[in-house]
Amino acid sequence: MSKIVILGAGISGHVAAAHLRRKLSKEHEVLVVSPNSNYQWIPSNIWVGIGRMKSEEILFPLPPLYKKKNIGYKQALVTTFHPEGDTESASPFVNIKYVNGEQKGNTEKVTYDYLINATGPKLAFDMTEGLNPGTNKAYSVCTYSHAEHAWHALDDLIQQMKQGKKAKILIGTGHAKSTCQGAAFEYILNVEQELRRHNVRDQAEVIWIANEYQLGDFGMDGVLLSYGDNIMKSSEMVEMVFEDRGIKWILGAGVNKIEDGIAHYETLDGEYKSETYDFAMLIPAFSGHGFKAFGKNNEDITEKLFKGFMLVDADYTAKPYEEWSVQDWPETYQNPSYKNIFAPGIAFAPPHAISKPRVRKNGTSISPAPPRTGMPSGITAKLVADNIIDTINGKKDLHHKGSLGNMGAACIASAGYGMTKGSGVSITTYPIVPDYNKYPDTQGRKLGKTFGEIGLAGHWLKLALHYAFIYKAKMKPFWWLIPE
Amino acid sequence: MTQRISKSKRFYMMNPIIQFFKFIWLSIKIMLVVAGGHGGTRKVNN
């Protein structure tokens, strides 16, 4: 009998738990530890942020589902890692702290045979002075509660605009190293459409601010894609959409301070500038959770497990951009020091960025961190689950592999909500991390598998995925037939 | 605001009948990209 402990119940943690439970017999224990008792379908947060969906439509409580499916659950957060056990026992364990219910505040030692760290990122608002959702007129859509808050503020502003107020709306990244430009891209297009729906578009100046060097970088160094019969860069596609929608842009901007209605930023040119706004939605930097790990004699071994995020089978050798290789990226998400620990999804430390790093003369790096989206999170979680199952069943090697350099991803970006008026920018990318050796003439990507489409069908597709993935997450009949 | 998408292209993008078929096409194409498999890179290229 084996005990598999999964830290986190987001896309990655939940996918791993679901597949492990489905494929392992009942003698094996699957236990999820997560401070949030709700599962949320994060890609739909942007629709909560424009008031077109309620939070209840994108989340559901996990404890009843886990009870029904025989998956253990503790509403707690992990505090320390002890992969060698301690002086009392050689069994590896994590310390957890309950965050709710009668046990709130209590700590517990949870032992494991296999550990899946799917704790995702810490939303590091504190890395930008003054950036805190709901203060200084700046908001976030990173969680459903943040998105609800953003909608209330945006709705207030729209009502004021209906009374004649002119407004400036700033959307993008709130730190020089932020990622997740895609979510901000979706949000700015949805907000712009809602302004038109409320007949106040003429009174609003809508501005995109980002740490990208070019539009459409998305933390992936941009993509060269097929668009109809043409081949175009993602920068050209996004520029076309922004110009057509009257959205202005500020690029190469490292936002470093937020005051009430003012975003201060530094540029790659070395200038310090600021932009005023009446409503802002700025994506923060993502960071690791600052976990500590201890050895058998309570010595600090954090560097064997973490480099911000968790260390896995990547090549972390520091090297210049020109020497970066697709082979640097991990394949099995297994920690090299402790073979029974894995970190799929967003929890693993990337070997380096994907976008070309750009640094100011004073040393400030202003360029996007690698994107961390739902699809690779689900795929990597499933392959980790499959490798653990194989190991339990006696296989010695890890056969299931999934490098971001040999994996496709689809980004169905909503560009406006509505069954007849909605729109979407659908982009697929293969591979996510460009392979310049394999595809030297197409900027590291395979054309045909890397394509873009704009139109109403994109909105329908995103809506269909919303319902399909919530169905899958609820583990309803034949849920496993829906791919990650 | 600069019109960058022509009227005919916009009609194509927003026509529900055309877009219904585009939806089917997109669903299949994305499925092929996503479900087309994934793997390592080190043995392939080294």
Q: List chain B residues with CB under 8 Å of A405.
A: 41
A418 touches chain B (CB under 8 A): no
* Residue to test with chain B: of A379, A425, A456, A461, most B Cβ within 10 A: A456
| Alpha helices, DSSP H, located in A143-204 | 144-162, 181-197
Is residue A209 within 8 A of residue A173, CB to CB? The reply is yes
Question: How is chain A split into domains, by residue range?
Answer: 3-123+287-360+371-403
Q: What number does CATH give the domain A3-123+287-360+371-403?
A: 3.50.50.100
Distance CA A58, CA A248 (A): 31
Which residue in A379, A402, A461 is closest to B26 by CB distance? A461
Do residue A457 and residue B19 have CB atoms under 8 angstroms apart? yes
Give ipTM to 2 decimals: 0.91
Q: Give the model's pLDDT for residue A109.
A: 97
Low-confidence residues of chain A: pLDDT under 70: none
User: Considering only CB atoms, which chain A residues are within 8 Å of B28?
Assistant: none
- Asked if A457 lies within 8 A of B22 by C-beta distance, the reply is yes
Nearest alpha carbon to residue A252 among A125, A371, A365:
A365
Q: Angle at Cα A160 formed by Cα A420 and Cα A245, nearest 5°?
A: 40
Picking from A240, A375, A460, the nearest residue to B34 by CB comes out as: A375
A402 contacts in chain B (CB < 8 Å): 38-40
pLDDT confidence band for B43 (50 / 70 / 90): low
Cα separations (Å) of A378 from A18, A228, A374, A472, B12? 11, 29, 6, 12, 33
Residue in B closest to A382 by C-alpha? B38
Whether residue A407 lies within 8 A of chain B, CB to CB, comes out as: yes
Chain B positions touching A420 (Cβ under 8 A) are: 14, 16
Please report which confidence band the pLDDT of residue B1 belongs to, taking 50, 70 and 90 as the band edges.
confident
Answer yes or no: do A483 and B35 touch at CB < 8 A.
yes
Q: Which among B2, B22, B46 has CB closest to A455?
A: B22
A244–B5: do the CB atoms touch at under 8 Å?
A: yes
CB contact under 8 A, B38 and A461: no
User: Which among A243, A402, A435 has the least Cβ separation from residue B38?
Assistant: A402
How many Cβ pairs within 8 Å bridge chains A and B?
Answer: 107
Query: By the CB < 8 Å criterion, does A402 face chain B?
Result: yes
Strands A292-293 and A76-82 turn out to be parallel
Among B18, B34, B43, B44, the residue to mutate for chain A (most A Cβ within 10 A): B34
Residue B45: pLDDT band with limits 50, 70, 90: very low
For chain A, the 3-state helix, strand and coil shares in percent, each to the nearest 5, are: 30, 30, 45
**Amino acid in the structure at residue A356:** K
Q: What is the pLDDT of residue A122?
A: 92
| Model pLDDT for residues A233-257, shown as the tens digit of each residue | 999 999 999 999 999 999 999 999 9
Residue A170: closest CA among A153, A159, A160? A153
Cβ within 8 Å, pair A426-B1: no
Interface of B with A in 1-46 (CB under 8 A): 1-5, 12-16, 19-20, 22-23, 26-27, 29-31, 33-36, 38-42, 44-46
**Would you kindly state where each structural domain of chain B is located, as residue ranges?**
9-45
Mutate to test the interface with A, among B6, B26, B29, B46 (most CBs of A within 10 A): B26
What does the buried/exposed string (b/e) look like for A247-266 if buried means 16 or more CB atoms within 10 Å of the residue's CB? bebbbbbbbbbbeebbbbbb
pLDDT for the residue B44:
47
Partner B contacted by A243 (CB < 8 A): yes
Residue A248, token pair as written in the block: 């202005």
Q: Does A469 touch chain B (CB under 8 A)?
A: no
In degrees, rounded to 5, the angle at the alpha carbon of residue A15 between the alpha carbons of residues A10 and A19 is: 155
Tens-digit pLDDT profile for residues A288-302: 999 999 999 999 999
Residue B5 has its nearest CB partner, among A240, A329, A406, at A240
Give the E-state strand segments of A153-247 in sequence order.
Answer: 167-173, 204-209, 224-227, 230-233
- Please check the confidence at residue B35 and state whether its pLDDT lies above 80: no
In this prediction, residue B46 has a pLDDT band, given cuts at 50, 70 and 90, of very low
